[in-house]
Amino acid sequence: MLVKRAPDLTYADVTPKSIYTNRRSFLRGLLATGGTVTGWKRLLPPLPGSGPGSVPVKLDGVVRWPYSTGEKQTSYNDVTTYNIFYEFGTGKKDPSENAKNFQTSPWSVSVEGEVRKPRTFTMDEIMKLAPLEERVYRFRCVDTWCMVVPWIGYSFSALAKLVEPTPKARYVAFQSYYDPRQMPEGKYSGMVLPYVEGLRIDEAMHPLTLLCVGMYGETLPNQDGAPVRMVVPWKYGFKSIKSLVRIRFVEEQPPTTWSMGNLQEYGFYSNVNPNVDGPRSSQAQERRLGEYFRRPTLMFNGYGDQVASMYDGMDLRKYF
């Protein structure tokens, strides 16, 4: 049975209403989602002044996804204080400190490219596109740390089907929000910003691929990708782009931020694979946040039964 949420509440009602408003700098980063500087800046409302940041609030009407892992969940404190979000600093604890004043309302996500019905979704529309589900996923960082998180959202395919991708859409490119005024630490990250990522369209449309709006029963904290992000549980965490503002369905494989920075170490697919070493260490073992002992890394992060068929015939050492 689906529990309906109060129809008179909007996303703005659960987020403060304050209007929210690099080491390398080269044009390839602008091409990652087929845009230009003008293209991404038009998504950002002006920032008239400082104001209180957005804070998580309780989400009602969330149903439990029946295929969630039954493993012990990582503590909320660990998940919200160990973050990789370079726009708010390069240290793991930096985002929880530096994102406190990040303003996420109003917010919208533009969906463009090879689609029959391009449109811009408000955050209120995103919250109501499909029933919200709590999905407890394993989540793996490329630096061998891992966690088990009760994410909240629904399959990305629910949004994609509304815009009707054309037969030319073979990939999906994603772009994060970036405003140097709200994210001044970004210029010290050594990254080309805004952050961009991409998936092959069958990966994006897979039922496990989550358009995520919350966790632990609440809306997303700023440092964990508020107000909307992707979660792709069989890939390393940097594929699960945060603070999403733009989606493009495209014909060619899009560049991604980490592969542009170091293609030899960060491949486009970035599937969790214990047989392929990471940038500076083996990926054969992992350690859960809050635990001391390591455990063996699972192929596809343990989701092989669901996703392995998408890579039949591929050399996963070459297409890493």
Q: Which two tokens stand for residue 238?
A: 């940097």
Check if the beta carbon of residue 40 is closer than 8 Å to that of residue 174: no
Q: Please indicate, yes or no, if residue 258 is contained in any of the structural domains.
A: yes
Q: Please indicate, yes or no, if residue 316 is contained in any of the structural domains.
A: no
Digit-coded pLDDT (tens) for 95-127: 999 999 999 999 999 999 999 999 999 999 999
Q: Where residue 29 falls among pLDDT bands split at 50, 70, 90?
A: very low
- As a whole number, mean pLDDT of residues 146-171 equals 98
Digit-coded pLDDT (tens) for 288-307: 999 999 999 999 999 999 99
CA distance 36 to 8: 37
Q: Please indicate, yes or no, if residue 219 is contained in any of the structural domains.
A: yes
Q: Please indicate, yes or no, if residue 167 is contained in any of the structural domains.
A: yes
Residue type, 54: S
Q: Where residue 264 falls among pLDDT bands split at 50, 70, 90?
A: confident
- Above pLDDT 70, what percent of the chain? 84
Q: Please indicate, yes or no, if residue 318 is contained in any of the structural domains.
A: no
How many domains does the chain contain in total?
A: 1
Structural domain of 49: 11-311
Q: Please indicate, yes or no, if residue 93 is contained in any of the structural domains.
A: yes
Provide the CATH number for the domain around residue 40: 3.90.420.10
- As a whole number, mean pLDDT of residues 60-88 equals 97
Check if the beta carbon of residue 229 is closer than 8 Å to that of residue 244: yes
Given a cut of 60, is residue 43 above it in pLDDT? no
Q: Please indicate, yes or no, if residue 1 is contained in any of the structural domains.
A: no
Top pLDDT among 100 and 47 is at 100
Check if the beta carbon of residue 292 is closer than 8 Å to that of residue 268: no
Given a cut of 80, is residue 76 above it in pLDDT? yes
Q: Please indicate, yes or no, if residue 6 is contained in any of the structural domains.
A: no
Given a cut of 80, is residue 271 above it in pLDDT? yes
Least reliable range by pLDDT among 186-195, 234-243, 278-287, 301-310:
278-287
Distances (CA, A) of 128 to 5, 67, 265, 274: 9, 22, 38, 38
The confidence score (pLDDT) of residue 52 equals 65
Given a cut of 90, is residue 210 above it in pLDDT? yes
Top pLDDT among 273 and 11 is at 273
The confidence score (pLDDT) of residue 17 equals 31
Top pLDDT among 157 and 281 is at 157
Segment (H or E) for 173: strand 171-176
Helix ranges (H only) for 135-181 are 157-163
Q: 203-235 b/e with 16+ CB inside 10 Å = b?
A: bbbbebbbbbbbbbebbbbbbbbbbbbbbbbbb
What is 111-148 written as a DSSP string?
Answer: EEESBSS-EEEEHHHHHHSS--EEEEEEEE-TTSEEEE
The confidence score (pLDDT) of residue 51 equals 52
- As a whole number, mean pLDDT of residues 4-17 equals 36
Q: Where residue 279 falls among pLDDT bands split at 50, 70, 90?
A: confident
Check if the beta carbon of residue 297 is closer than 8 Å to that of residue 286: yes
Q: Where residue 9 falls among pLDDT bands split at 50, 70, 90?
A: very low
From the centroid of its chain, how far is CA 104?
Answer: 15
